[in-house]
Structure 1
Amino acid sequence: MTDMVFGAQEAPEEEPILPQWWRTVDRWTLSAVAILFLIGLLLGFAASPPLAERNDLAPFHYVIRQAFFGVLGMMAMVITSMMSPRSLRRWSTLGFAGAFIAILLLPVLGTDFGKGAVRWYSLGFASVQPSEFLKPVFVVFSAWLMSGAMVRGGPPGKTLSCAVAVIVVGCLALQPDFGQASLIVAAWGLMYFVAGAPMLLMIGLAGAVVAAGTYAYENSEHFARRIDGYLNPTIDPTTQIGYATAAIREGGILGVGIGEGQVKERLPDAHTDFIIAVAAEEYGLLLVWIIIGLFLFVTLRALFRLSRERDPFIRLAGTGLAALFGMQAIINMGVAVRLLPAKGMTLPFVSYGGSSVVAAGITLGMLLALTRRRPQEDLGDLVGLSRDRNV
């Protein structure tokens, strides 16, 4: 009778996914990432033509490839950022299983491209480095395990995540890939700290990392050579670090001028591991400060948004992803100025590299998905619901 008098009430229409995504996503972070990508293309025009010439390729061969993979990375970022936390958790679990199997098969099917470490799969037209894709899915998977331990009567998620981290780091160290292994340890350690790990346990884990590093130094010539080179008070001007530090010093505040830099002619990895040296030499510290500011902005803004998040899984996963992004940038730039030992790590969205830029897009997409604006439950409701959380 009520419907006959007042008319039936229509069900509210669900908001289309694109408008909803645009309304809730962090557009400032999207803009900062786009600027980093454009800076990477700009530096690619400066750094890659000499390498293309040495390899008898078209002058802008690597720039075109960087633009192609960069677009793929940006698309992956946008698509991933549209996921809900639950979908992200499920797909990351599957992705972790696939990436881990790919890591295990590297000694059989992988290649080292003459660099002494079997880290890649060669596809003929391109190569894939599975450790790049392992990092973000490992972080989300570990966050799921840790958050499960916060549920009353839940599984021992922190212990399980520690076991998984040890296995993953061990597999990476055997490649050897100590750079990616150390990055995963740092991100996992920060997540474990945020999850409420006892201080004595954190000290014990730090001691275990030191012991593992000492063992690697004594038993790995590759690792020992890099540490010895870092600790040597003098810099050989004919090494990669020597060329990079000289280029940064020559660039000064405003740089030597577009196209006038020399480090790109001397370094085989100027377009990847040492792209910041190209930026400092040709454009000066001004551009370097802009790049550093953009990485700081993305990382700190994500942590600020996560500080208001009450869901443990979202808070832990977002913290780990932000740490991955920020620490990889710190490591890359720290190596170039000799603050850290050489690790062979790219600068996200700026360095050349197909796996690197696509994986960075997925990482930032996950972070954007977790930091989207969403209604926050009352703390009391959240505690009550966590008892029966469907993970």
Structure 2
Amino acid sequence: MTEMVYGTLPRQGGEPVLPRWWRTIDKLTLIFILVLFGIGLLLGFAASPPLAEKNGFEPFHYVFRQGFFGSIALIVMVSVSVMSPLMVRRLGVLGFVAAFIALALLPVLGTDFGKGATRWYSLGFASVQPSEFLKPGFVIVTAWLMAASQEINGPPGKIMSFSLVLTIVLFLAMQPDFGQAALILFGWGVMYFVAGAPIFLLIGIAVLVVLGGMFAYNNSEHFARRIDGFLNPDIDPTTQMGYATNAIREGGYFGVGVGEGQVKWSLPDAHTDFIIAVAAEEYGLVLVLAIIFLFLVITVRSLYRLMRERDPFARIAGTGLACMFGIQAFINMGVAVRLLPAKGMTLPFVSYGGSSLVAGGIAVGMLLALTRTRPQGVIGDHFIGRGRGTLGQNK
């Protein structure tokens, strides 16, 4: 009877999840990530057969594994990118706790696979590197603490995050894994800067980093050997750096041809840490510049979208994720061309590696979620509005 008198109210249905996700996602970044993964598979066909032959597998055994783990990474990436910032924060906190416990237990339960650094858990069919999964969780937890410190009567989040990063760096240095430690410290510094750290404090932290490097050089044979090799003007042609440098030189502008490269037969890590050397030798400078362009656009475009973000947590966390993504690519390629000391660090979505691929999918999924278009004004409007309110109260 009520409906006959007053009529029925139209049902207010929300926009379905997938259409809303597709409308608000950064499509160009998503496409470029898929292109990077495709390039990784292409280079895998060139770099993996020598290793497969050495270990008694089918020629493209590692390519198939990369495709399998990469598919998982892409599914995880899309799944995480659908989440709201609140859900991203919850996932990040839970992931950080699990990864931190796994990192702390490495000296007891981990293995080094004969590489001199205890960084992995062996599962028989695969291995897991906790530090890879720690990075996105660390960014989320740190951003949460820094954002909370900006609230009235908020906790001392910046001091807490500083204690947290020192603890993690100490655990990583004990493995030793100075590359990941430096990456974690860099990400924290960028987020601290975005959260409003005084410049003198950042200078003081930089001084502490230099002093820490000097201490590591004097007390770690592993670290000192890497630095000495980097500073030595003469490159031993029989070392990994020598093989990589020669491959890049031989590739020229357009490469020696698909499948014609030789560096993959000499470098034990041609499919992981030195994958860019394979790209340079077989496909030349053209492909290397294309890869650099993809990483540059993804990083800069994400930072540009975050400049309009009004939520402090999303802005700080997104900046940390974007900068760590970009600097990891820079470190990997910088090592190959001898701009940086040798570091065991993969090229995101291009290098072979189950942990790095899946963890990269989580990190980029979080970045895509935090850079999605949401109904809000630019951050400048927020401060202008607050200023107008204050002027009104003063009147």
Structure 1: distance between partners of 2:146 and 2:101: 22
Q: Which residues of 2 match residues 86-101 of structure 1 at below 5 A? A: 86-101=86-101
Q: Tell me which amino acid in the other structure corresponds to 1:216.
A: A
Report the CA distance between 1:380 and its aligned residue: 6.0
Q: Which residues of 2 match residues 224-239 of structure 1 at below 5 A? A: 224-239=224-239
Partner in structure 1 of residue 153 of structure 2: 153
Q: Which residues of 2 match residues 227-306 of structure 1 at below 5 A? A: 227-306=227-306
Partner in structure 2 of residue 387 of structure 1: none
Structure 1: distance between partners of 2:163 and 2:37: 36
Partner in structure 1 of residue 193 of structure 2: 193
Structure 2: distance between partners of 1:178 and 1:71: 30
Partner in structure 1 of residue 393 of structure 2: none
Partner in structure 2 of residue 59 of structure 1: 59
Partner in structure 2 of residue 30 of structure 1: 30
SS at match of 1:284: helix
Structure 1: distance between partners of 2:296 and 2:123: 35
Report the CA distance between 1:8 and its aligned residue: 3.0
Segments of structure 2 that go 5 or more residues without pairing to the other structure are 388-395
Structure 2: distance between partners of 1:308 and 1:380: 12
Partner in structure 2 of residue 309 of structure 1: 309
SS at match of 1:48: helix
Q: Tell me which amino acid in the other structure corresponds to 1:192.
A: Y
Report the CA distance between 1:11 and its aligned residue: 3.3
The CA deviation string for residues 259-297 of structure 1, in whole angstroms up to 9 with x for no partner, is: 110000000100000000000000000000000000001
Report the CA distance between 1:381 and its aligned residue: 11
Structure 2: distance between partners of 1:2 and 1:373: 41
Structure 1: distance between partners of 2:15 and 2:119: 44
Q: Which residues of 2 match residues 13-162 of structure 1 at below 5 A? A: 13-162=13-162
Structure 2: distance between partners of 1:252 and 1:380: 52
Equivalent pairs counted in the alignment come to: 384
Structure 2: distance between partners of 1:163 and 1:383: 33
Report the CA distance between 1:383 and its aligned residue: 7.1
Asked whether 1:379 is paired with 2:382, we answer: yes
Structure 1: distance between partners of 2:385 and 2:305: 18
The Cα RMSD (Å) is 1.6
Q: Tell me which amino acid in the other structure corresponds to 1:329.
A: A
Identical counterparts, % of pairs = 68
Asked whether 1:328 is paired with 2:331, we answer: no
SS at match of 2:11: coil
| Change in 2 beyond 3 A, CA 1:281/1:95 | same
Partner in structure 1 of residue 390 of structure 2: none
Partner in structure 2 of residue 342 of structure 1: 342
Report the CA distance between 1:10 and its aligned residue: 2.4
Structure 2: distance between partners of 1:364 and 1:382: 33
Q: Tell me which amino acid in the other structure corresponds to 2:181.
A: A
Segments of structure 1 that go 5 or more residues without pairing to the other structure are 385-391
Normalising to structure 2: TM-score of the pair? 0.95
The CA deviation string for residues 332-352 of structure 1, in whole angstroms up to 9 with x for no partner, is: 000000000001100000000
The CA deviation string for residues 215-263 of structure 1, in whole angstroms up to 9 with x for no partner, is: 0000000000000000001111110000000000000000000111000
Q: Which residues of 2 match residues 195-234 of structure 1 at below 5 A? A: 195-234=195-234
Structure 2: distance between partners of 1:89 and 1:381: 28
Write out the 4+ residue segments of structure 1 that deviate beyond 4 Å after TM superposition.
1-6, 380-384
Q: Tell me which amino acid in the other structure corresponds to 2:114.
A: G
